[in-house]
Amino acid sequence: MATKTRKETLSSRIVADLRAAIVRGELAPGEKINLDRLREAQDVSISPLREAMSRLVADGLVAFEDQRGYSVTPVSLGDLAEITRLRVALESLALRGAVAAGDLDWESQVMGALYRLRTTPRSAEAPAAWEAAHTGFHMALLRGAAMPLLLQFCAQLRCLQDRYRALYLADLPAGRDVQAEHDAIAAAACARNADLAVSRLVAHIEATGALLRARMLG
């Protein structure tokens, strides 16, 4: 049992390290992943490494091909469009559920996450803190739905789109008040106006998708 737990812990650490490296663009789209070099760098055996690769393949961040092995999943306009459409569909469903079922604790969590986001500086040089607060806010909005499988899908899609933002929105876009968008979504959700909250969330997601598409097209 101890050996199994240690293997799972090692695998989880490797997954977290590689996920962060892929999302930040430190491992480039399409880059081949050499398991032997990675095993030496992580100082682990091949077993937890293969388990980690399987989890990253399931997450959509790593691709596997027979005879060619593992590589970072490529990016494309089609992939971005699909991620954006799925985020709109699934997060709309989750937010409607949260507005309907969320209690006062959910409202407090949403407003607390919004405050953390508002007070966390956004810096292109050190984006990690703001990115964590940003993800925390969006997931707090949805968590009131109490639908674990749906939330898992939403978190996976957020991670996939975060990679595009890291690759193509390294500089902060002008002419868009993202914090005001977050404030408006939270206000409508906590006022229990599902239609308004969802419409604001959809506009927020689609605006990011459109900006990323424009950046990719150059």
pLDDT at 1: 44
pLDDT at 2: 46
- Whether the Cβ atoms of residue 157 and residue 209 lie closer than 8 Å to each other: no
More confident residue, 88 or 175: 88
Encode pLDDT of 13-49 as tens digits.
899 999 999 999 999 999 999 999 988 888 888 888 8
How far is the CA of 56 from the CAs of 52, 111, 153, 160, 215, in angstroms?
Answer: 6, 32, 14, 11, 26
**What is the CATH number assigned to the segment(s) 2-72?**
1.10.10.10
List, by residue range, all CATH 1.20.120.530 domains of the chain.
77-217
List, by residue range, all CATH 1.10.10.10 domains of the chain.
2-72
Confidence of residue 11 (pLDDT cuts 50, 70, 90): confident
Measure the CA–CA gap between 195 and 95, rounded to whole angstroms. Answer: 10
**What is the CATH number assigned to the segment(s) 77-217?**
1.20.120.530
Residue type, 23: V
